Amino acid sequence: MAPLPLTPLRRFGRGLGHLGFILLLALGTAWTATALYIQLHGWVQISAWVALASAVLAVLILRFGKRRLGWLGFAIAALAVAGWYITIHPRQDRDWAPDVAHGVSGTVAGDQLTLKNVRNFDWTSDLEAIPHWESRSYDLSQLETVDMITSTWGDPNIAHLIVSFGFAGGDHVAFSVEIRKEKGESFSSIGGFFRQFELVLIAADEADVVKVRTNFRGEDVHLFPVKLDAAQRRALLLRYIAFGNQLAEAPVFYNTVTANCASTVYSLVQVIKPDMPLDSRLLFSGQLPEYIDELGGLPGDMPMDQRRKLAEISALALTWQPGQDFSALIRGQ
């Protein structure tokens, strides 16, 4: 039976089909090439790129020879890439950068909380510090405050989030969800999409994790007290400890969108507010204070610009002198 003649409408439909196929192939090729760039190095990377180029060429030849074979070739190539990608697993045994060499873990006996690997570095520059990792104990019955600390360094819509717990007597322990860099690595938002970094939960003294941002990195840091009752404060802190213990048992990858400092905290906070709504400000983390304020999570009743003014701590932190209580200073005490 003779094939049907190609009418203008059929030509248009076939052209759209080719265009859609090429666009899908181009997207898949770009994603795979980036993953190979992030994950492989040296001659292995070059060999993989050559194999990718050969596969793309073969798929195109199949597509313009017999269209259905083109889709089959595309599916085989996609399955091969997926099969390789799922073999990339998070690890605990890399040569970590000193500031993320240890994640926090903890045990609870009654009201007694014991944390292992609390970071208390003495920073001498924005990148160098004298390392100190400590075990510390806290009385959960003396837990009095929770503060949300945001730190921005350029785009005010993008912030790093730290949550700090305060105890009677002035002790504070701050938790920071961070990428776990290897020595010599630096942060890459693109790499964060391609399993370049593991995730780590750092517990630290505020004179470490906050002061390095205010006094050495020149970041714009704000401290917002969060309105929680005693049961909520305790539940949130215990959820952080459980998360740290989970990471110690089974590492996970950082992801620029789904497992970053803000989105991870969102999952933790659900222990006290299960119906916490999703919001775009979880991605634009510099706007998190507005989000929390709308949920009724910040004390008092005042305009947000006034809250932000009261929350500024960078100028106070820069007045710190050796021997001074840094946590009291940034709270104006």
Q: Are 134 and 158 contained in the same domain?
A: yes
Which of the four pLDDT bands, split at 50, 70 and 90, describes residue 268? low
- Same domain for 114 and 72: no
109 pLDDT above the threshold of 80: yes
Gap between the Cα atoms of 216 and 220, Å rounded = 11
Percent of the chain with pLDDT over 90: 65
Q: What is the pLDDT of residue 12?
A: 57
Same-domain pairing of 283 and 144 = yes
- What does the block give as tokens for 154? 């350029």
CA-CA distance, 5 to 34, in Å (whole number)?
A: 42
Same domain, 139 and 58: no
Query: What does the alpha-carbon distance between residue 80 and residue 154 come to, in Å, rounded to a whole number?
Result: 40
Q: Which of 85, 106, 134 is the last residue of a domain?
A: 85
In a domain, 31, yes or no: yes
Are 119 and 133 in contact by the 8 Å Cβ rule? The answer is yes
272, 230 Cβ separation under 8 angstroms: no
Place of tokens 């899908």: 24
Confidence of residue 272 (pLDDT cuts 50, 70, 90): low
pTM of the model: 0.87
Q: Which residues contact 296 (CB under 8 A, 6 or more apart)?
A: 227
> For the segment 44-74, what is each residue's pLDDT rounded down to a tens digit?
999 999 999 999 999 989 888 776 788 899 9
Same domain, 234 and 317: yes
- For residues 225 and 301, membership in a common domain is answered with yes
Q: Report how many domains make up the chain.
A: 2
Residue 303 lies in a domain: yes
Residue 93 falls inside a structural domain: no
Beta strand pairing call for 122-123 and 172-180: unpaired
The answer to the question of residue 2 being in a domain is: no
In a domain, residue 4? The reply is: no
Residue that is last in its domain, among 85, 118, 150: 85
71, with CB counted inside 10 A (0-12, 13-18, 19+), is: middle
Helix (H/G/I), strand (E/B), else coil: 193 = helix
Pair 180, 318 in one domain:
yes
Task: Kindly compute the dihedral angle of the four CA atoms of residues 230, 133, 201, 160, in this order, to the nearest 10 degrees.
Answer: 90
Residue at 91 is within a domain: no
CA distances in angstroms from 104 to 135, 162, 284, 301, listed in the order given:
10, 14, 26, 36
Residues 50 and 145 in one domain: no
* Domain end point (choices 26, 53, 85): 85
In this structure, the answer to whether residues 75 and 103 fall within a common structural domain is no
221 & 298 share domain: yes
Taking only the tens place, the pLDDT of each residue in 170-204 is: 999 999 999 999 998 888 888 888 899 999 999 99
Out of 8-12, 292-296, 306-310, pick the least confident.
Answer: 8-12
**Is residue 205 exposed (0-12), middle (13-18) or buried (19+ Cβ within 10 Å)?**
buried
Q: 156 by DSSP, 3-state: which? A: coil
Q: Express each pLDDT in 215-255 by its tens digit.
A: 999 999 999 999 989 999 999 999 999 999 999 999 999 88
What pLDDT was estimated at residue 120?
97
> Domain limits at 67?
9-85
* Residue 1 in domain: no
Mean model confidence pLDDT for the chain: 89
Do 291 and 237 lie in a common domain? Answer: yes
Q: Residue 292 corresponds to which tokens in the numbers above?
A: 């929390």
Q: Looking at the structure, tell me whether residues 50 and 121 fall in a common domain.
A: no
Q: What is the pLDDT of residues 3-25, one digit of tens each?
A: 555 566 666 556 677 788 889 99
pLDDT at 296: 84
Asked if residue 3 is part of any domain, the answer here is no
